[in-house]
Amino acid sequence: MYCLHLLRCPVCHTAMEREGTILRCAHSHTFDIAKEGYVNLLRKKLAGDTKEMVQARRSFLERGSYQPLADTLNTLVSTYLHEQTSPINVLDAGCGEGYYLGRVQQSLPQQSCLLGLDVAKDAVRMAAKRYPSSSFVVANLKEQLVLADECIHVLLNIFAPRNPVEFARVMVPSGRLIVVIPGVEHMAQLRSTLPLLQIEENKQQHVVEQFAPYFTLLDVVPVSYELDLRGEEVQQLVMMTPNYWHLSDEARMAMNAIQALRTQIAFLCLVFEKKK
């Protein structure tokens, strides 16, 4: 746990210290550090992405299918870094199995602190095993975050729950928030073939309004390309998203019957600066 100084107890929100294989706060709430190095700070068990979803996502991402997005995020973080003089703290809120944080690490100065939070324990375990120089925590993004005030310089929020009040609390003034949402054309060909969840209308506007009290929108960076998928990759792409929970038997059969498909991939990176 390299970022221990950033963490706060989920019960009483005081700082924590490490004692062997546990973390202990000032009021003696204790949390075990898993052998993979992550810590579980969930106050009660919550259902996150399943192991099957996490494994589908890792297989899909490791082939580089979303690398253009990872590259864009690295560029955005590097741009911010040029304005900084010292190492920075990066939080991936909703880090999943760690792919994007692992990529961002490559463009950061040493001694930077990388922290990933996710509600899915299976995802956090996989992330901690793969990226041992980052810190990973099982935590709920929808309640008070297990982090100190004003300690995060860059916050990534990639297809994950958004908590504007808490994101603002944990970020330094003028810190950079990058929210990634699907573009309107995302998976268009796949959507026209299978009955998948629809992308919320006016999502971009909705997200900007959500963050407007605390953040100024600096830029909207689209990432768009076409991707050739084999059958197995189609299944992974569907199963790594919330479609996993909503697929009928009929839709699943239709999905499994697809041999190959070329589909549009489209993301929007919304770049915000925290208001002073």
Tokens of 240: 């790594």
Nearer Cβ to Zn ion, position 29 or 186? 29
Task: For residue 33, give the DSSP letter.
Answer: B
The window from 27-35, 117-125, 126-134, 219-227 that contacts Zn ion (CB under 5 A) reads 27-35
The window from 11-19, 34-42, 113-121, 234-242 that contacts Zn ion (CB under 5 A) reads 11-19
Nearer Cβ to Zn ion, position 9 or 181? 9
Residues 149-208 that bind Zn ion (CB under 5 A): none
User: Residues 243, 197: contact at Cβ < 8 Å?
Assistant: yes
Shortest spacing between CB 167 and Zn ion, in angstroms? 22
Task: For residue 28, give the DSSP letter.
Answer: -
Nearer Cβ to Zn ion, position 17 or 71? 17
Instruction: Rule CB under 5 A: say whether 27 interacts with Zn ion.
Output: yes
The CA angle 63-157-202, to the nearest 5 degrees, is 100
Among 29, 130, 186, 252, binds Zn ion (CB under 5 A): 29
Interstrand relation of 16-19 and 39-40 (parallel, antiparallel or unpaired):
unpaired
Instruction: Rule CB under 5 A: say whether 11 interacts with Zn ion.
Output: yes
Q: What is the DSSP string of 210-253?
A: HHTTTEEEEEEEEEEEEEEEEHHHHHHHHHTSTHHHH--HHHHH
Question: Which amino acid, residue 194?
Answer: L
Among 3, 6, 7, 9, binds Zn ion (CB under 5 A): 9
Task: For residue 145, give the DSSP letter.
Answer: -
Shortest spacing between CB 22 and Zn ion, in angstroms? 12
Total binding residues toward Zn ion, as defined by CB under 5 A: 6
The residue ranges that bind Zn ion (CB under 5 A) are 9, 11-12, 25, 27, 29
